[in-house]
Amino acid sequence: MKPFVRPTSIVAVALFTLFGGGLAQVGCTSGGSTGGKSGKGGNSGEGGGSAQGGSGAEAGGSGEGGSGTATGGKNTGGSKTGGAGGGTATGGSGNETGGSGGTVAMTGGVQGTGTGPCDPATWRPTHKGGINGPSATWGGVNAQGKPYTKETIQYTFKNPQNQDVSKSATIWIPGTYADAKDGEVAITFASGAMTDASLEAHSSKLIAAKYMPPMIYAVDGINWGNASNSGGANIRERAVELVGMFDAIRAKYGKLSMDPKMHGTMGQSTAGAVAFDLAWARPDFFGVAIGASASMVGFMQYLYPYPTNINATNKDKIRVAFDVGECDLVWEDGLIPATCGNVCASGNCICQGCGMGNWVQVNRDVTQKLLGLGYPVNLVIRARGVHNVWTGAIADDLAFAWRGVMCK
């Protein structure tokens, strides 16, 4: 890996005004978990071979637990229809991904057989790249992951007045850190709204199954909700702050990679747009951006207007994973899909004061533009999913986002 050299100047990019505080508390927070987590219920995402890609998906026919007959089942959004038991969580003669084969019936495509996370035959339709859905999301892998530990770290950075500013942030250290080699550990700077037990559980399992590198999470080091309020200079200032945090973390955890492709940003709603903004503004430092229900709508954009000002400049530098709910925020009732039914019955899918905002459409448009320019990008539209109920799609997001460094 080439060593990272911090540039002395950043090219200014126009930024349209972003309202403060984010959208974490706006919109569909009730009645939407069915859409946001479809495909995972009843352990269907991990069992029956459904989420792991039919026969032999993650372990090539061995090593995941369950019975070989479980692979023939269909993922119907909540049940494992295959056989029961028969193996152990770490392997044995029977396993959830092995057996005699079978396919997975799900919206978006059929899963084949394969030998590991870098074999395209094992990839779920929802993490292959492109625009997927509305579809059931992936329940992740059934691997034995090592738990994270958490601690607080102090860091210092220069503000625009060239003054030293000291702050603190929470960092998550993967249980596999001690086993990693120098340069093998990645980092993601994440908004606190996305750092919960679901992220921790999926990350530890995906690391164990080699879908992603050992991952340090640095949580809420910046004010994500207001990071875009003051124009492009504010985004660059936030990037400088995160670089200062990175230096402090690496001083203690020296196995952390200097390669920009091993550095990610992640957020939901407003923070999801900021995550993309940071990677776009500093591709020399951030190589991955993950945005859940990213608010890249007309009144809060860094590259206003999206997607017009997206170009091919960074196509070999950043990798992008988006997810959005089929029933995500819109600015008027007439834009709500009929399939959302009672998910939006209480009016909680309407974003008052959002101008012409349509979260599904803008995420589609941005993804389509990136695809056309040759960027590695994935968008999962969560079936009947709502704003910010991202947990059902996080395994898809992580698997795609980190494939670029895991599968070379």
Q: Which range has highest mean pLDDT (110-119, 259-268, 354-363)?
A: 259-268
CA distance 320 to 29: 25
Q: Does domain 144-406 have CATH number 3.40.50.1820?
A: yes
Percent of the chain with pLDDT strictly greater than 70 = 66
Token couple for 304: 């206003």
Residues listed for the chain: 408
Contact by Cβ (8 Å): 20, 26: no
| First vs last C-alpha separation in the chain | 13
Contact by Cβ (8 Å): 61, 114: no
Average pLDDT over residues 229-249: 81
Burial of 363 (C-beta count, 10 Å sphere; 0-12/13-18/19+): buried
Whether 177 shows a pLDDT value over 90: the answer reads: yes
Residue-level pLDDT at 309: 74
- Give the CA count within 13 Å in the CB-facing half-sphere of 17: 3
Residue-level pLDDT at 175: 97
Write down the domain spans for the chain.
42-128, 144-406
Burial of 201 (C-beta count, 10 Å sphere; 0-12/13-18/19+): middle
Range with the poorest average pLDDT among 78-82, 143-147, 206-210, 353-357? 78-82
Closest by CA to 140, choosing from 242, 209, 88, 74, is: 209
Token couple for 376: 């590695």
Q: What is the dihedral of CA 272, 276, 281, 283, to 10 degrees?
A: 130
Whether 227 shows a pLDDT value over 80: the answer reads: no
Residue-level pLDDT at 58: 31
Instruction: Give me Rg for the CA atoms of the chain.
Output: 21
pLDDT band at 32 (very low <50, low <70, confident <90, very high): very low
pLDDT tens track for 167-176: 999 999 999 9
Element (H, E) at 130: strand 130-135
Cα–chain-centroid distance for residue 154? 26
Tally helices (H) and strands (E) across the chain.
7, 11
pLDDT band at 213 (very low <50, low <70, confident <90, very high): very high
Whether 396 shows a pLDDT value over 90: the answer reads: yes
CA distance 157 to 197: 30
How many other β-carbons are positioned within 10 Å of the β-carbon of residue 268?
A: 27
Closest by CA to 126, choosing from 318, 394, 362, 402, is: 394
Residue-level pLDDT at 147: 95
Residue-level pLDDT at 87: 33
Burial of 189 (C-beta count, 10 Å sphere; 0-12/13-18/19+): buried
- β-partners of residue 264 are 188, 288
Whether 371 shows a pLDDT value over 60: the answer reads: yes
Residue-level pLDDT at 188: 97
Burial of 385 (C-beta count, 10 Å sphere; 0-12/13-18/19+): buried
Closest by CA to 375, choosing from 317, 297, 327, is: 317
Amino acid at 93: S
- β-partners of residue 323 are 292, 380
Range with the poorest average pLDDT among 47-61, 234-248, 313-327? 47-61
pLDDT, averaged across the chain: 73
Range with the poorest average pLDDT among 100-104, 216-220, 342-346? 100-104
Token couple for 352: 């008052």
Residue-level pLDDT at 298: 58
Average pLDDT over residues 94-107: 26
